[in-house]
Amino acid sequence: MNADPSPPSAPDLTYLPRIQQTLLDWYAREGRDLPWRRTRDPYAILVSELMLQQTQVDRVIPKWEAWLAQFPTIVALADAPTSAVIKAWAGLGYNRRAIALQRLAQAVVAVHGGRVPDDVPELKALPGIGPYTAGAVAAFAHNRPVAMVDVNIRRLLYRLFVGAEVPEYRLSEGEIWALARAAVPPGRSADWHQSLMDLGATICRPRPLCERCPVREWCRAAPEWAILPPDAPRPTKSQGKWEGSNRQYRGRILRTLGALPHGDALPLPLLGARVREGYTEADAAWLLGLVRALARDGLALLSGDEGAYTVRLP
Ligand code: SF4
């Protein structure tokens, strides 16, 4: 007998209506109360999406609230001194996102007169906005019937309608996006995507908690997870060691520069002494490399000549 060892990979949408209704009801009952879910302001949603890209929800909440108090509109952000934007971002990590957000704000002001577009192609044409963020703004601010796919949504939709993603996904990225578009319930795009994000974050995690899942009955992956060995999912990628990393020193440099009076600069050796205990001349090339990288990212300004460099925020 020639049995095909690989299970079929075409999405099966037979139970889509039940899954949609059950997940929307579950979200109405148990969805997380996050402050950006209480607004339809596309700028505020955009800020939350950029902050959430690489930072956890509980760290983002106070920063998001403080950010909107300091830069309440996209015009205010576009017009703010870049040094203030970098300082306001401090603590979120990956500071390039602060510069990207301000450049985006400036493009919205220049191209759209300060109105964040509600249409995915127009959003995607803006600097720093990819298909996911464009979909998030269109869905969450305007309830547009668009798809968005991030790592959690990809995993969840695949499990629901195709099967377990081990040893690997058997759909292309284009096929996953097509599945995501087909799954959006009419008129409920915002709540649908919030429900997917909540289920993906709390229950359908890399190692899923199927016994707690509201849509287990109709999920194509649930029977597979029941028989897969406990170590079946591949380990998640290590974030790398933080202590002593260049990322840690980038953050220290920006905090040190941010503590200076506006417009003040520090000579390079003085900056080195403030960010690294036991800094010596032998560390100068390493520090200069970090500062140059920050300058390339628009986060710092390097002036002067070799031997007399000074550094400040833009
Ligand atoms: S039943 Fe399990 S695999 Fe399927 S969606 Fe729920 S948690 Fe994920």
pLDDT per residue, tens digit, the chain (314 aa), is 444 445 557 999 999 999 999 999 999 999 999 999 999 999 999 999 999 988 899 999 999 999 999 999 999 999 999 999 999 999 998 899 999 999 999 999 999 999 999 999 999 999 999 999 999 999 999 999 999 999 999 999 999 999 998 878 889 999 999 999 999 999 999 999 999 999 999 999 988 999 999 999 999 999 888 776 666 555 444 445 666 788 888 888 988 888 888 888 999 999 998 988 888 787 888 899 899 989 988 889 999 887 789 999 99
pLDDT value of residue 240: 55
Report the C-alpha dihedral over residues 19, 198, 41, 105, rounded to 10 degrees: -120
Q: Which residues lie below 8 Å from residue 58, measured CB to CB, with a gap of 6+?
A: none
Q: Which of 142, 125, 99, 124 is nearest to 254 (CA)?
A: 99
Question: By the 8 A CB rule, do 145 and 157 touch?
Answer: no
Mutate to test the pocket of ligand 1, among 204, 205, 227, 228 (most ligand atoms within 8 A of CB): 204
Residue 290, domain member (yes or no) = yes
- What CATH number has the domain bearing residue 112? 1.10.340.30
Residue 148, domain member (yes or no) = no
CA of residue 213 to ligand 1 center, whole Å: 6
CA of residue 157 to ligand 1 center, whole Å: 9
- Tokens representing 66 are 């403080």
pLDDT value of residue 237: 46
pLDDT value of residue 281: 80
What is the reported pTM? Answer: 0.78
Q: Which of 87, 130, 101 is nearest to 43 (CA)?
A: 101
Residue 185, domain member (yes or no) = no
CA of residue 173 to ligand 1 center, whole Å: 21
Residue 155, domain member (yes or no) = no
Q: What angle do CA 196, 200, 202 make, to 5 degrees?
A: 120
The total number of structural domains that make up the chain:
2
Query: Cα-flanking dihedrals φ and ψ of residue 47, to 5°?
Result: -60, -45
Residue 220, domain member (yes or no) = no
Among residues 49, 173, 217, 306, the one annotated as catalytic is 49
Residue 234, domain member (yes or no) = no
Nearest Cα residue to atom 8 of ligand 1: 204
pLDDT value of residue 9: 75
pLDDT value of residue 1: 41
Pocket of ligand 1 (CB under 6 A): 156, 159-160, 203-204, 208-210, 213, 215-216, 219, 221-222, 225
Residue 9, domain member (yes or no) = no
Domain boundary among 116, 134, 157: 116
Residue 223, domain member (yes or no) = no
Which atom of ligand 1 is the closest one to the Cα of 209?
7
Give how far the C-alpha of residue 23 lies from the chain's centroid of Cα atoms, to the nearest Å: 23
Domain boundary among 73, 99, 116: 116
Known catalytic residue: 277? Answer: no
Mutate to test the pocket of ligand 1, among 152, 213, 224, 228 (most ligand atoms within 8 A of CB): 213
pLDDT value of residue 251: 86
Domain boundary among 70, 101, 116: 116
Nearest Cα residue to atom 2 of ligand 1: 210
- What CATH number has the domain bearing residue 259? 1.10.10.10
Q: Which residues lie below 8 Å from residue 132, measured CB to CB, with a gap of 6+?
A: 148, 149, 150
Range of the domain at 76: 35-116
The residues pairing with 267 across neighbouring beta strands, listed in sequence order, are 310
Which atom of ligand 1 is the closest one to the Cα of 214?
6
Q: What is the maximum alpha-carbon separation in the chain?
A: 78
